[in-house]
Structure 1
Amino acid sequence: MAPRRFEKRRVGQTDLEVTTLGLGCASLAGIFSAVPAEQARATIAHALDLGVDYVDTAPQYGLGLSEHLVGEALRERDRRPIISTKVGRLLRPVPPGQVGKGNWAHPLPFNQHYDYSYDGVMRSFEDSLQRLGLDRIDILYVHDIGVYTHGEAANKLLWAQLESGGYRALRELRDSGTVKAIGFGVNEWPVLMDALALGDWDVFQLAGRYTLLEQTSLDPFLTACIARQVSVVIGGPFNSGVLVGGDKFDYAKAPEGVFARVRAIEAVCRDFGVPLPAAALQFPLNHPAVCNVLPGPRSPQELDGILDWWDADIPDALWTALADQGLLAPGTPVPGGMV
């Protein structure tokens, strides 16, 4: 199978370039429902064979399972993609009956412990290398720090860990060349404004907050990223599935107001003969700060479906029509200008 020619975009001011389509590996670790290991590895291999050159994982995904699957799929290949993983959670072994499974169907027998300190970041990085069975990680994200995950009181303590030591660990790893880029991977953009005040970063992975359904991060966050030359990877382009016919939004049952907005967007797409998921997938890349969109297929067949959406022709007039109906935020970049 000949690889496709995906556009590549630079990551911040680093020498890394990523394909604009990436592979997110949370779904492959069995979020909400199980994915057979062979199927997960086949999905990763299929993505790489097609020319996708950026793979994202994390210790949280399946409590170590995702990193193991990624490592198994990559170790026998002659050429590796750009790999990102995350810090902030340490995994501690427990008896299988004591695993806090959360949304994971078949996680490994660990529980997670939050630690954003200097030692915690270094330990997390080394543990990820062990689980992946690889000698390098290109991009290292601080994972899920913020009020959304921890609540206000606990987050203050964890942010103090990052501020007093974790950031220094990340800088040391980058300055030494051990990793090439550092950033955050979160579900809320205000914490990324705090990150920009804390120090210098290369790339942020933001899930669900700059999508066809929601552009709350447009300003001041994405505007600040342009000014600071920080790239943005858009995770969750389908908002947990509600933009591809599912009933989940932000990892839970979508409220009726979300469904109503999805129906309105879908009606506009239908008028132009464009599948809603195709518009959702391609939308974020209209913004100049965005370097990559990161869907999470669960099988090679789902990935092929994503590629069909990726290849769909979307007329510029569709974005204008969405804006005219108040379905895109004012100032949203689209081909040819802003709405």
Structure 2
Amino acid sequence: MKMRRLGKTGYEVTEIGLGCWQLGGDFGPMDDEDAGAILANAARLGVTFWDTADVYGGGLSEHRIGTYYGKPDGLVIATKVGRSGALFPDKYTCSGVRECLKESARRLCVETIDLVQLHCVPPEILKDGEIFDWLDDFKSEGLIRHYGASVETIEEAFVCLEHDGLATLQIIFNLFRQDANKELFEAATKKDVGIIVRLPLASGLLSGKFTKETVFQPTDHRNYNRDGTAFSVGETFGGIPFEKGVELAEGLRQFIPGSMSMADFALRWILDHPAVSTVITGVSRPEQISANVEAASVPPLEGEIHAQVAAYYENEVRPHIRGEI
């Protein structure tokens, strides 16, 4: 698999990374054996960017990564801070963030965290800016090597870009959420900030395997947050109502060349954007990692296809997105 530079971190990471939200059981129950099998296949395939957070399963995801000893050479483990009850929504202090990071380091079994990302913290905290000064201090202390931010909107991303120490931005970017390609990518590239893409398949809609009758487990956010009841509506199905999203996904099939699968098409479209450093794909089964990795070997899409998909997004998809983009 091809490698890409992760902004000013200097890390060389695989184009396809591993999202580890599911290792906390937040997509449904997952035991240690199944979690270990997912990590083992990621390691076997040489996937070198694993993304987790302290709130995934209340730290269970970090713990499972930290106690797994088959990690590939050059592995970069990124975690997130800022959404635990100790901090969110209005209890952010330097000592509080430091303590959360120390707990993450303990669970990950490391002394220094490779990359920590602010985890969709409230916009007013980002605009205040003091939290970035704290991260600079933690970097000087050796608690973290680099820091970035995982944001919910383009506006928040630009606020974060004002801070020179920012190394990465994690954003929602997929065939159903294309706005980052307008100005954000150019601005991030100029500041040498790596782009980490989450929700590349819009919570599975862009796998092309769902129907309007698909049912998700009660503990799956695609059930309890499909209308933004628990957190930002954009984090589930890209903010698009599920039934409409199934229709829109079917509409995309007209642009897919040859026998390419919809999932491969969706991932290849993202990777065709050079500003993207890595795409984190969450999986519930080990074999899904293999399929995601294979998508990176698909040839780039033709410019005409990109133009058609952009027009489809503006005319058919974007009007149905709920919440801020």
Q: What TM-score comes out, normalization by structure 1 length? A: 0.76
1:294 and 2:259 correspond: no
Question: Deviation at 1:305?
Answer: 2.8
Match of 2:248 in 1: 261
1:282 and 2:268 correspond: yes
* Structure 1 residues 113 and 90, CA gap change in structure 2 (3 angstroms): farther
Q: CA–CA distance in 2 between the matches of 1:77 and 1:194?
A: 34
Match of 1:335 in 2: none
* Structure 1 residues 220 and 120, CA gap change in structure 2 (3 angstroms): farther
Select the residue among 216, 232, 241 that pairs with 2:179: 216
Once the two structures are superposed, the pairs formed by residues 233-244 of structure 1 within 5 Å of their partners are 233-244=196-207
Select the residue among 29, 33, 53 that pairs with 1:58: 53
Q: CA–CA distance in 2 between the matches of 1:304 and 1:13?
A: 29
Letter in structure 2 aligned against 1:262 = A
Match of 2:146 in 1: 181
Question: Deviation at 1:258?
Answer: 2.8
Gaps of 5+ in 1: 1-5, 93-110, 147-154, 331-339
* Per-residue CA distance 1:14-62 (angstroms, 9 max, x = gap): 3321111111100222223112221111211210121111111101111
Match of 1:316 in 2: 301
Q: CA–CA distance in 2 between the matches of 1:302 and 1:87?
A: 27
Select the residue among 164, 168, 182 that pairs with 1:203: 168
Select the residue among 116, 120, 129 that pairs with 1:163: 129
* Structure 1 residues 52 and 32, CA gap change in structure 2 (3 angstroms): closer
* Structure 1 residues 221 and 322, CA gap change in structure 2 (3 angstroms): closer
Select the residue among 102, 119, 127 that pairs with 2:95: 119
Letter in structure 2 aligned against 1:260 = E
Match of 1:84 in 2: 78
Q: What TM-score comes out, normalization by structure 2 length? A: 0.80
Q: CA–CA distance in 1 between the matches of 2:251 and 2:71?
A: 44
* Per-residue CA distance 1:67-109 (angstroms, 9 max, x = gap): 11111113x65846111101113466xxxxxxxxxxxxxxxxx
Q: CA–CA distance in 2 between the matches of 1:80 and 1:10?
A: 13
Letter in structure 1 aligned against 2:81 = V
Identity percentage over the alignment? 26
SS at match of 1:195: helix
Query: What is the aligned residue count?
Result: 290
Q: CA–CA distance in 2 between the matches of 1:186 and 1:46?
A: 29
Q: CA–CA distance in 1 between the matches of 2:7 and 2:140?
A: 15
Match of 2:258 in 1: 272
Once the two structures are superposed, the pairs formed by residues 11-50 of structure 1 within 5 Å of their partners are 11-50=6-45
1:136 and 2:112 correspond: yes
Letter in structure 2 aligned against 1:10 = R
1:190 and 2:175 correspond: no
* Structure 1 residues 57 and 19, CA gap change in structure 2 (3 angstroms): same
Kept after mapping to 2: 8 A contact 1:237/1:280: yes
Question: Deviation at 1:256?
Answer: 4.1
Match of 1:100 in 2: none
* Structure 1 residues 239 and 78, CA gap change in structure 2 (3 angstroms): closer
* Per-residue CA distance 1:253-300 (angstroms, 9 max, x = gap): 83444333211112321x522111001112222222111011011221
* Structure 1 residues 115 and 21, CA gap change in structure 2 (3 angstroms): farther
RMSD between aligned residues: 2.7
